[in-house]
């Protein structure tokens, strides 16, 4: 009886691994690409959360990052220079995707996505374009925005107009 229990304990993980391998091999190329993109983006966000400079290596050399401020349109290298003080801290910023949609071209070389994020700024939304290169996935374009509930938009828009009027006056 002990042999039988031990045998089952050893066999169960092996059967699980076999089933997962079979499932992964049978997954469609589209499903595999979506999984790859999800892992890539989750790792990218984790790089920022842990101040790993490889965060910037995931952005294409000619890639663009558009931040929440209307003045923020950064090339990768300019973004890296601007963010340097943030990446000297233990955490630059922490974004966690709560929802993500992924689509791609027929040849699967161009991938576009949108995601909703939990951040220290509150809920945000982002969209981006990724290219699949021989060296791996690279972010070509990323645009981040703060998600403002429609019920609050009038008041926030008024504050923005007041803020900009003061900036022009000075």
pLDDT digits (tens, 9 = 90+) for 130-169: 999 999 999 999 999 999 999 999 999 999 999 999 888 8
- How is the chain split into domains, by residue range? 31-169
pLDDT digits (tens, 9 = 90+) for 42-76: 999 999 999 999 999 999 999 999 999 999 999 99
CA 45 – CA 170 distance, rounded (Å) = 38
pLDDT digits (tens, 9 = 90+) for 73-120: 999 999 999 999 999 999 999 999 999 999 999 999 999 999 999 999
Q: Which numeric CATH code is attached to 31-169? A: 3.10.450.50
* Helix or strand run (H / E) with residue 17: helix 2-26
CA 15 – CA 23 distance, rounded (Å) = 12
> Do 32 and 109 meet the contact criterion of CB atoms below 8 Å apart?
no
């Amino acid at each position: 009886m002990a042999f039988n229990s031990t045998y089952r304990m050893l066999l169960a993980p092996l059967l699980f691994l076999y089933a997962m391998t079979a499932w992964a091999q049978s997954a469609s190329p589209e499903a595999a690409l979506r999984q790859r993109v999800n892992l890539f983006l989750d790792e990218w966000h984790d790089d920022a959360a842990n101040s790993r400079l490889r965060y910037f290596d995931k952005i294409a050399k000619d890639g663009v990052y558009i931040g929440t401020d209307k003045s923020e349109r950064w090339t990768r290298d300019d973004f890296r220079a601007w963010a340097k003080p943030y990446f000297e801290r233990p955490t630059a910023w922490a974004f966690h995707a709560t929802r993500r949609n992924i689509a791609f071209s027929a040849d699967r070389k161009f991938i576009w996505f949108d995601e909703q994020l939990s951040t220290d700024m509150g809920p945000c939304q982002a969209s981006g374009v990724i290219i699949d290169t021989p060296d791996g996935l690279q972010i070509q374009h990323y645009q981040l925005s703060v998600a403002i509930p429609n019920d609050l938009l009038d008041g926030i828009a008024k504050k923005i107009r007041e803020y900009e009027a003061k900036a022009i006056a000075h």
